[in-house]
Amino acid sequence: MGKTIKIRVPGTSANCGPGFDSLGVSCTIYNDLELTLLHEPALQIFVEGEGVDNIPTDDRNLAWKSIQTLLRHCKADEEYKGAIIRMKNGIPLSRGLGSSAAAIVGALKAANVLLGNPLDRRGLLKIATDLEGHPDNVAPAIFGGFTVSLLNDGIPECFSFMPRLLLNLVVAVPDFHLSTKAARSALPLDVPLKDAVFNVGRAALLVGALLKGNAAFLRNAFDDALHQPYRAKLIPGMYDVFRAAKEAGALGVAMSGAGPCIIAFTTDSMDAIGHAMTEAFHRNGVEAHFLTLGIDKRGAHIVK
Binding site for ligand HSE (CB under 6 A): 14-15, 20-21, 134, 136-137, 180, 183-184, 227, 257-258
In the complex, minimum distance from the CB of residue 255 to ligand HSE, in angstroms, rounded to a whole number = 8
In the complex, minimum distance from the CB of residue 22 to ligand HSE, in angstroms, rounded to a whole number = 8
Q: How many CA atoms are closer than 13 Å to the CA of 73, on its beta-carbon side?
A: 20
Of 137 and 199, which has the nearer Cβ to ligand HSE?
137
Of 171 and 258, which has the nearer Cβ to ligand HSE?
258
In the complex, minimum distance from the CB of residue 187 to ligand HSE, in angstroms, rounded to a whole number = 8
In the complex, minimum distance from the CB of residue 19 to ligand HSE, in angstroms, rounded to a whole number = 8
Of 137 and 278, which has the nearer Cβ to ligand HSE?
137
Task: State the alpha helices, DSSP H only, in 162-297.
Answer: 180-185, 193-212, 215-218, 228-231, 238-247, 270-283
In the complex, minimum distance from the CB of residue 40 to ligand HSE, in angstroms, rounded to a whole number = 35
Distance CA 299, CA 284 (A): 35
Task: State the alpha helices, DSSP H only, in 46-88.
Answer: 62-73
In the complex, minimum distance from the CB of residue 14 to ligand HSE, in angstroms, rounded to a whole number = 4
User: Please, are residues 96 and 259 in contact by the beta-carbon 8 Å criterion?
Assistant: yes
Distance CA 148, CA 15 (A): 10
Of 21 and 32, which has the nearer Cβ to ligand HSE?
21
Of 73 and 134, which has the nearer Cβ to ligand HSE?
134
Of 224 and 296, which has the nearer Cβ to ligand HSE?
224
3-class SS at 9?
A: strand
217 CB burial (10 A radius; 0-12, 13-18, 19+):
middle
What stretches of the chain adopt beta strand conformation (E)? 4-14, 23-38, 43-49, 82-89, 146-152, 155-161, 168-174, 252-255, 262-266, 288-293, 301-302
